[in-house]
Amino acid sequence: MTPRGRITADRLIVATGYTTPFCRTLAARFRLLNTYVVATRSVTARERRALGIADVMMWDTARPYHYARWTSDRRLLLGGGDRPHRTGKARERALADGLRDVRDHFVDRLES
């Protein structure tokens, strides 16, 4: 029910990325994940050519997914590697592991 009427549907898709107070009753159906992003320093045109990555966004469909894209200040952004959310000391360890895994994922692909 809304202030202006009623909406009926067979299915509802909530695309907030996380549970919100509005969706509290659905909280048990959400999985909170952490994703990781690593950025290089600004690279020279020569370094960029050597990498062989054009001005596109690359995204794989693996689970967890990974992506790479260039920023306007000539940095290569590498991201993805979603993992379950952790808290406390486990979160610090998960952050270090997640960043290393994203970096290693791309190092393996770019060196081959």
Domain limits for position 41? 32-111
Q: Are 51 and 110 in contact (CB under 8 A)?
A: yes
The angle subtended at Cα 66 by Cα 53 and Cα 78, nearest 5°, is 55
Residue 6 domain-assigned (yes or no): no
Q: Answer yes or no: is pLDDT of 1 > 70.
A: no
pLDDT digits (tens, 9 = 90+) for 65-103: 999 999 999 999 999 999 888 888 999 899 999 999 999
Q: Tell me the C-alpha distance between 85 and 33, whole Å.
A: 5
- Per-residue confidence at 104, pLDDT binned at 50, 70, 90? very high
Between 19 and 62, the higher pLDDT residue: 62
What total of structural domains would you count in the chain? 1
Q: Which residues contact 18 (CB under 8 A, 6 or more apart)?
A: 30, 32
The whole-number pLDDT of residue 18 equals: 66
Between 26 and 40, the higher pLDDT residue: 40
Q: Tell me the C-alpha distance between 37 and 66, whole Å.
A: 10
Q: Answer yes or no: is pLDDT of 13 > 90.
A: no
Residue 16 domain-assigned (yes or no): no
Q: In what order do the strands lie in the sheet with 66-70?
A: 33-39, 76-84, 66-70, 58-59
Picking from 72, 74, 67, the residue whose alpha carbon sits closest to that of residue 43 is 74
Q: Tell me the C-alpha distance between 96 and 105, whole Å.
A: 14
Residue 8 domain-assigned (yes or no): no
| Most confident stretch, 22-26, 27-31, 86-90 | 86-90
